[in-house]
Structure 1
Amino acid sequence: MRNEASGSGRSEHRLMSLHDAAGLIRDAGAMLICAGAGMGVDSGLPDFRGTEGFWRAYPPYERLGLRFEELADPVHFADDPALAWGFYGHRLELYRRTVPHAGFGILRRWASERPTRVFTSNVDGQFQKAGFDRVAEVHGSIHHLQCLADCGQEIWPAGEVPAIDGETMRARDPLPACPSCGALARPNILMFGDWSWDPSRSGPDLQRLHEWIRAHRRELAVIEIGAGTAVPTVRKEAELATAATGALIRINVREPEVRHGRGIGIAAGAESTLRELDALVS
């Protein structure tokens, strides 16, 4: 009986959380969407959580004994560009093929009813594909490239993906090159231990976002989705933006707790939770 009562209590708590979150969305004069890797999981994208999760998504790297952190390192573009572009070229092609899940459409509809901005650590361009045009990408974008030689060429859109050997996960020539000097190109993404990332594209968007947050802080609701504590950039942004109001909705399968005590945590995935909220908001 205690187990049944406990389960019933959790269900009631969850329902209350959903109703409270729906109320925050309905009452919001402005909305900030903060998204981490968990936002894309329901679209079929890997979130690279832990070595085992990464290897399930990319079995060839398990055979090679390579972890995500080792591959997402800018040094490979200088030392082993075929390996580097094998990994990033495959991801670029994957993101180009991916269709954003229905939760993006729900957020887009809510955004049409109030001023809205997006802050994301994702580099996949899924928000833009779903129709959002005010997106601050704090870690850059895989859909844009920069010159490895830093010749002065401005960041440019990525073109054709190099062919990749499915067994070795190595890219074949020709590899993407700078249109000005012909040197090797790399994705305009902030990688691990990255001192050569060019922030000139992302920086102005982030500046404009923070100006917008200051202007709307008192009427702002923040929906944070799929952002973990391992790389806490998104969670910190969401908490700072709601410091004045506490109007934070944190949707996270594994880490829904709101540690500063002001906000609503929902332990579930992105798409299913957004569908439930939409039924209550409408």
Structure 2
Amino acid sequence: MSRGVGAVEILRDIFPEPVTAAFALLTQLGDVWLYVVILTLLYWYGNRERAMRIVGVAIGAIALTLALKYAFALPRPPADPPALPGSVPAVLEPLYEETVSADGYGFPSGHAVGSAAVWGALALWTDIGTRRQRFLAAAALVAVISVSRLVLGVHYLVDVVAGVAVGGAYLAAVAVAVSRATDGPTVALGAAAAVAALGIAVSGANQELLAAFGAAVGALVAWRLADVPAEPWPRTTVGLGYALGCVIALELLVLAWLLVPLPDSAVVVLSSLSLGSVVAAPAGVRRVKERNARTAQQ
């Protein structure tokens, strides 16, 4: 009761069962898979320097969440997830159960940390609408995602409140450091690698933290060495299909990692190469085009 203050029970009394179950969809707004899709497309088709800042913040927020979870080692609530509404086909029940369930430690809420950091960074470093509109939208998304974790019964109220505070504080710290640097992505990715390394030192060789460390290092090396062109890719149908194909390949790679046990060193190398290849892709495409142009002139 001390961490939850009855929030799960109160919310479930307020919302009817079908609405409660609908939060299983809303909570996806704070899932890592969605951040992968958004940030990959933003990096390839938008302002790459700003996108890489956000990528660094996202990796750092994930690493910080994992480090804190293992440091506090506090359990999740014992509440059962909301039942699948009768109007939903039974064939979707396994997918629903996977969405509304969660394992591991509960404090702080990773969805709350991630949403405050990532959606906040998107509001800070993108140009859609006005600054006020972006931050209002980010605040609304963070609120919905946070409430979804309570309604689904996978976090206590304190987990969510602390998560939003941690995510916001981490974003603020990185934003200040980036504002004083000449290479913002290097600062953001370096901070992410440092947080992941600290988490590994505190919690041991946890593979999720090793993956975060590898991703940060791989992205940082690719950003510094690949000579990535600043110009975004054309927003064509073919280009979008290529980008989505690469994102799906990344998601399948993560799924394979979850299903097939890998040694710690392989996790670091695989995550480093995966994100590094995404970051270096624009440079590789430019080299291919330049080579083809030279061949055509011969």
Normalization by structure 2: what TM-score? 0.25
Normalization by structure 1: what TM-score? 0.26
